[in-house]
Structures are given as structure tokens and as C-alpha cells.
Amino acid sequence: MGDISIRVEGRAGRITLNRPRALNALTHAMANEIAGALDAWEADAGVDLVMIDGEGERAFCAGGDIVETWRAGRAGDFGSGRRFWADEYRMNARIAGYPKPYVAFMHGFTMGGGVGVSGHGSHRIVCETTQVAMPECGIGLIPDVGGTHLLSRAPGHLGEYLGLTSARMSPGDAIHAGFADRFVPGADWGDLKADLIRTGDVGRIPEHAAPEAPLAARQEAIDDAFEAADLASIVARLEASDWGHEVLKALRRNSPLSMASTLTLVRAARRCPGIGPALRREFRFSWRASESGDLLEGIRAQVIDKDRNPTWRDDLDGVRPDDVAAMLAPLGEDELVLPEH
């Protein structure tokens, strides 16, 4: 079946990610195949909806395949990663604007690039095992694939909290934060998929009570800390609180440059909403991340050597506004161009 299975079954265009040993991590080729399928099915009267899921029990999709980006970057080739991001982001925008229902079954780990192929869909389904996160600051990137767009729409300042800390959302938290729509018990997924294939009718997706959302109970405290003007001020508020010490541990693990840039990007997405503007802003950071940021060191520490001890270019209180501005400056002729669908 290869890394991805694309086919039509009944009334559904089906996409199944098939790299379970790699937690269905998304490759450049897989992103392009998804985009091609969406183009083909848009005009196909026999396809009423698109359904995406993943093989294996552990993950729908735990992110993008970043090892090749690291290898290329270490060799001085920054272009291959940039091409991957450009094509992936175009595919994310395609999903967000797709004219047919797009149903994502988000089991297990649904992170980073996995959010990109699910979180912009029209019908996002979670189950008991779902864990959603945007963990990019831990590898020196930013919550991309339209992540800053989704984070900006979360209640209060929950978006800043989730983006900076890389915190994992439970099924209830994912619904509360706007990353998912409905909870359906995993035992019912087989019958639901069969029903959607047979009928092509998303109105048959059942309504279940959403599970408890632990983050909702902490909303006031999170807002109080993460409404602060900058990263250093957020850290100061957490240090002065009686609850923020575990959160500070997460912030001290992540790239300060990435977190400061994420703060700017999430707030920019709140001021200037829309998936397209968010992706263009994110691409500016991604385009520079290997050459000028912390990405190669972050991937080395987390994925290659797995020592979990990255040497970031900045201290937690040492990121200058000029450094953030340089990572997010317009790219001129290299700006991301999105499809006009």
C-alpha cells in the first residue's frame, strides 16, 4: 500500500496514512499525494466527502518527517525543507477551503503536521486515545501548518499557552480549544466509517457529550499569565504564581526564539485572521529556521541523538525583539504563494 493509500470507496474519497512504525509521520511525497487527491475529487460527482485516517493504534499522525530536513540542512541544503513546507502549507490551505466535507479521524498522537491534515477539516473526530499538540517549539520551529491560525481562535489566551508549552490536549481539551469538533468512542469508528462510505452523509456523525476538558478549569489562571506582553513577562508571572512551576519546566525545555516568535505569530493571527495570512507568516519563520534559527539543533537533540539537551542560541530572557522581527520579516520574491481555490 505504500506510505499512503488513496482510493474511492462508495461515496467517500479515502486517505489513509500508512507509516505506523513512524507514527504516520508526513513526508513531502505524502503531502503532494493528498493535494492531488483533493484536486481530483473536487470535480468528481461520485465523491460526496473526503475521509482521512491513519493505520496503527498509536497515532493518526505525529507530525512531519523532519529527519530529511535535518540531513539536508546539515549538508547546507536549505532548499529541500523550504520546498516541503511550501507544498505542505498549500495542501493545508486546500483542506481549509475544500468545498466538500472533510472528515478526519484523529486517534492517538495527532501533532504538528498531523494537525495540519486534520485540524482544518470540516468534521474533526476524536476518541478516548486522542492526544493533540503543537510541539514545534521543542525542536526550534513554530506551530506551523496553520497552527497559529487555530491557536489564535482558542478561548482567551489558551493559544499562547498551548503554542509555547507544547502541551498535549486530551479529547475534551481538543474540543474546548477548537482543534476538534466531536467525540465518538473508538469502538464506534468502524461502523461510522462504513456508514459514511455508504451514504456520503456527514449528518450521520453522531452527537456525544464531550469529555471533561481539564484546561477549561485552568482557563482563568492561564489567561492571567499568558496575556502578558512578551515571553519574559510571561515567565515572571509564572514564577510569581503558585501553579506555574510545571509550566516553567516546559518553557525552559523549548527554544526561546521559537517561543517568542510563536507569541508574535499567534497574536498576529488574532489581529489579522484567516488561514492564508497565517500560513504566509509561518512560512517566513520556517524558511529561515534551518539556516538562521534553532531547528537543526532542536532536531538533533530530540530526534537524532535523543539527548534531550539542546543548546539554544538564546537564553529564556535573552530574545531580542529585533531577532524575532528578523525571523518574521517578509521574504520578497520567496513569499509563500497559495492556490486560488
Which residue of the set 13, 63, 64, 172 is catalytic?
A: 64
Helices 158-165 and 231-240: angle between axes, nearest 10 degrees: 100
Find the DSSP H helices in the chain.
Answer: 28-42, 67-74, 79-96, 113-116, 147-152, 158-165, 171-177, 189-199, 214-217, 219-226, 231-240, 245-253, 256-271, 275-292, 295-299, 321-327
Catalytic residue among 48, 53, 65, 144: 144
Cell of residue 201, nine digits: 452523509
Rounded CA-CA distance 99/317 in Å is 45
Give the active site residue among 63, 73, 113, 116.
Answer: 113
Which of 48, 65, 136, 323 is catalytic? The answer is 136
What residues have CB less than 8 Å from 229, skipping those under 6 apart?
Answer: none
From the CB of residue 304, how many other CB atoms can be counted at a distance below 10 Å? Answer: 14
Classify residue 152 by burial, with Cβ atoms within 10 Å: 0-12, 13-18, 19+: buried
Task: Tell me, yes or no, if 64 is annotated catalytic.
Answer: yes
Q: Residue 28: CB partners within 8 Å, gap ≥ 6?
A: 65, 68, 83, 84, 87, 88
CA atoms within 13 A on the CB side of 227: 8
297 given a catalytic annotation: no
The cell for 50 is 473526503
Assess contact for 280 and 337: CB atoms under 8 A. no
The answer to whether the beta carbons of residues 255 and 143 sit under 8 Å apart is: no
What residues are annotated to the active site?
64, 113, 136, 144
